[in-house]
Structure 1
């Protein structure tokens, strides 16, 4: 696997991290009753590929050098994943809960029943659910190995079938399924399904696996059809934004209601995620990037894990400062909020990285790895 191909995945990871910060910035922009709906669309609609594409990147990393025919040691595999994901997940969950109790005085999250629920569903902070789903994906690795073996025999056909099934399942989960069963535990499991149901992201995960196993052939196909892929991306982006504006101006939805309808699990959202994934691969594999953009995406890609984990802390104190000064979340303020969040989070991620050189336990606890001296 060439360095350039690996860098392409790194660029996607970095761009997706910017998208995640955009989504969370959009939520804070709603503090302004007269929110700019066009900026909100940029932050909340155009970035909706960000979380699903992380599962593509995760599967790509898992299967990049994975031999499906070699014996698979499940214990060693899970041991490594627990170190890189489970330990940081628990540590950051506890940090966010300690912080919440410190600023609010509320100790209820520490009650045993509530604590278990928080850790099971990633409720300590709004971004941590991703790690819960990722751990579930890891736990089913033997199943993914078998499925990928089958898909590899006719990837075009099987991936198309999976895509259609994914759209149907996500539609049912998003717009039909309700937690109204007699058993409260079943209701809880359904209520928090977005926090741990891997079924919502199986297609994009398996696409990442197939892409990693047959990368050269995959990229060759993408380059061959790059015009069609670019058009596909444009059509799905237009579909996402067009549906959003339709809900706003025709159905008279609020911006928050609209984005809760036009999300990554909606039918157009699934297609948009696929189109963006293919488009970014074509873009990064076929064209030479500006050195500044290349360096920025590389840094964000390398530090994306720590940035993802820490940025809600940064946002909390930035919004606290803005509120203390009675500053309205106007367009310039929202953009500044976004830039400062990304910059400060990146700086903290570097601090964690360099600190782990002298104290490896810092890196192991916070990011699952320690920097080499």
Structure 2
């Protein structure tokens, strides 16, 4: 068990404001892999050889100063090389990783993983140049033209050789045609930049834009710009597809789920009867859709609910609907009899609810048959008037 797979907003422990997200995810807020990703690959992957190293190898001004390099692997031994020269070799520690202290020199730092004396995997970092351009990389090159399909696009800064520049933390701007930008990010747990909009700074040379395709066949054209860098342009095909099957939305209204049910009475009770304060026993707490079996004595019961209607229903009035009541029934609201149901067989009941603000007292008087269940055996709702 590892907490967590992804970074997330809040809980920046052990850090404090202005940090606004966790630090300990395997992936950052955008899903970009962190060092923890490679650490756990070395821990958990057994079927293929893996090796990686951190940090990057672009440290201008630190020539000759020691840099601690962490190597992560599931092999038996690892050898570290700088510009083709062997720096050191160690037996692999899959749990803690292997550390090497290396005097920084520009060039290529490479790790070779070995098993049984044979090279099984390699990884390397190179010293990169200054950023000269932006690059846009989509997760997919085709999107569905259904006004719903969504995907991330990665923005990064590259040098003249097309290599990622991890030190480029520049402000970037985005625009898109044929799609909508629905989110932006960069994985920085200390960033307070908006996650909606058309701009985001690079963090470790990376940022992300979430795009949602428009409708129909066509093209999505996205551009990214940053001060002093060559802009990037990306074209994604938007394919025409048949609309996915849908059902019309149904409006359920304001549900009335919680009721108090009286004990059984041998004669019709007064609808004004209510449990006394603190009575949590003689009147049961029940939910709509809960039938009750016949009592040993008495066929009459009261059901009470206190409801504050939605603002529109309170102002204009509405309809109160019982999907199914078993038994004969009378409906009372705020001391007024609104409707009744004849016959003990299960059936619906509805009535016009007069306008009125505040808490409304709904009472159902039910007379059960001599056999079979009774009560509020289906959903109950308040519906606004149609417009």
Q: TM-score, normalised by structure 2?
A: 0.19
Counting helix residues as a fraction of each chain, which structure ranks higher? 1
Q: TM-score, normalised by structure 1?
A: 0.20
- Point out the structure with max Rg over C-alpha: 2
Of structures 1 and 2, the one with the larger relative CO (CA 8 A, separation 6+) is 1
Counting strand residues as a fraction of each chain, which structure ranks higher? 2
